[in-house]
């Protein structure tokens, strides 16, 4: 997937897969804006992005901020709120690309009716899937890819986070039929310099 697109929706197979770091790296590569439409819990991912970039990257405010660290549907229930899919619209980025970071995985519920994949479809951006390695990640990856394919959502590429586990990457790439854009190594420290270095290793096709 070429860099000239309007942007990407970053999702993952797991809550702690590294979506925010991947979003930062891709935003740096594209000189894109960043938007986290649904935030559950603090510290926020937008705050993390700002701590890395300072004023070097434009962020857009969350559509829904929920202080409860839980799935969006449960957090909203706890705070007497309701997430309305119709309220989501891509922010104006003044022609810059936009990186949108999801909440949790693709099938995390937003309400009793809607899941995150419904929001992906509404926003209309191709997906980049972040995959971290752990026991069970292969199954979670294949299930996520299957959902993307069933919904006919464009899958731009994969980002692997951490060391390959039991040669899972080859199986996942065969199922996904899309390129690996980046492999993020295990990192002891992350700052803007780290993000810039990794952004230069993105393999846009």
- For residues 124-138, give the mean pLDDT: 96
Average pLDDT over residues 113-137: 97
Give the Cα separation of 109 and 88 in Å (integer): 16
24 inside domain: yes
What's the pLDDT score for residue 1?
47
What distance lies between CA 135 and its chain's CA centroid?
21
Q: Which domain holds residue 167?
A: 7-199
- C-alpha–C-alpha distance, residues 19 and 112, integer Å: 24
Q: Locate tokens 């990457």: which residue?
A: 169
Is it the case that residue 3 has pLDDT exceeding 60? no
User: What is the rounded distance in angstroms from the CA atom of residue 75 to the CA atom of residue 125?
Assistant: 25
85 occurs within a structural domain: yes
Annotated catalytic residue, options 36, 113, 146, 196 = 36
**Predicted confidence (pLDDT) at residue 17 exceeds the cutoff of 90:** yes
CATH number of the domain within which 86 lies? 3.40.50.300
Neighbouring CB atoms inside 10 A of 57's CB total 19
What is the Cα–Cα distance from 19 to 83, expressed in whole angstroms? 22
Q: Is residue 2 domain-resident? A: no
Any domain includes 205: no
Asked whether residue 139 is assigned to any structural domain, the reply reads yes
How far from the centroid of its chain's Cα atoms is residue 126's Cα?
11
Question: Nearest CA to 87 among 57, 119, 58, 59?
Answer: 119
Q: What is the pLDDT of residues 49-79, one digit of tens each?
A: 999 999 999 999 999 999 999 999 999 999 9
Q: Give the total number of structural domains in the chain.
A: 1
Helix (H/G/I), strand (E/B), else coil: 21 = helix
Give the phi and the psi of residue 134 in degrees, each rounded to 5: -165, 165
Is 204 inside a domain boundary? no
The mean pLDDT of 25-51, rounded to a whole number, is: 97
| Per-residue pLDDT, 95 | 87
| Mean of pLDDT values over 157-177 | 95
pLDDT at 204: 86
| 47, pLDDT greater than 80 | yes
Residue 50 bears catalytic tag = no
Dist. CA 31–CA 8, nearest whole Å: 13
Which residues lie across from 183 on neighbouring strands? 160
Assigned domain for 1 exists: no
* Mean pLDDT within 79-96: 94
pLDDT at 205: 67
Distances (CA, A) of 203 to 11, 43, 59, 97: 18, 31, 24, 17
- Give pTM, 2 decimals: 0.96
CA-CA-CA-CA dihedral for 171, 140, 1, 97, to nearest 10: -160
| Predicted local distance difference test score (pLDDT) of residue 114 | 97
Model pLDDT, residue 4: 44
User: SS3 for 96?
Assistant: coil
Domain annotation covers residue 54: yes
How far apart CA 93 and CA 58 sit, in angstroms, is: 9
């Amino acid at each position: 997937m070429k860099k000239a697109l309007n942007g990407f929706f970053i999702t993952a197979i797991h809550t702690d897969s590294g979506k925010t770091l991947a979003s930062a790296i891709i935003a740096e590569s594209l000189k894109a804006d960043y938007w986290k439409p649904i935030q559950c819990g603090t510290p926020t991912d937008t705050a993390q992005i700002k701590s890395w970039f300072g004023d070097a990257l434009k962020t857009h405010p969350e559509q829904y901020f929920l202080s409860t660290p839980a799935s969006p549907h449960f957090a909203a229930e706890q705070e007497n709120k309701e997430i309305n899919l119709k309220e989501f619209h891509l922010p104006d980025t003044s022609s810059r690309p936009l990186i949108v970071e999801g909440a949790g995985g693709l099938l995390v519920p937003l309400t009793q009716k809607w899941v995150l994949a419904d929001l992906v479809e509404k926003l209309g951006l191709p997906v980049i899937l972040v995959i971290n390695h752990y026991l069970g990640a292969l199954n979670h990856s294949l299930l996520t890819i299957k959902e993307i394919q069933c919904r006919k959502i464009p899958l731009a590429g994969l980002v692997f986070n951490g060391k390959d586990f039991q040669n899972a990457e080859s199986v996942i790439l065969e199922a996904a039929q899309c390129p690996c854009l980046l492999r993020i190594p295990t990192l002891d420290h992350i700052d803007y310099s780290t993000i810039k270095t990794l952004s230069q290793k993105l393999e846009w096709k």
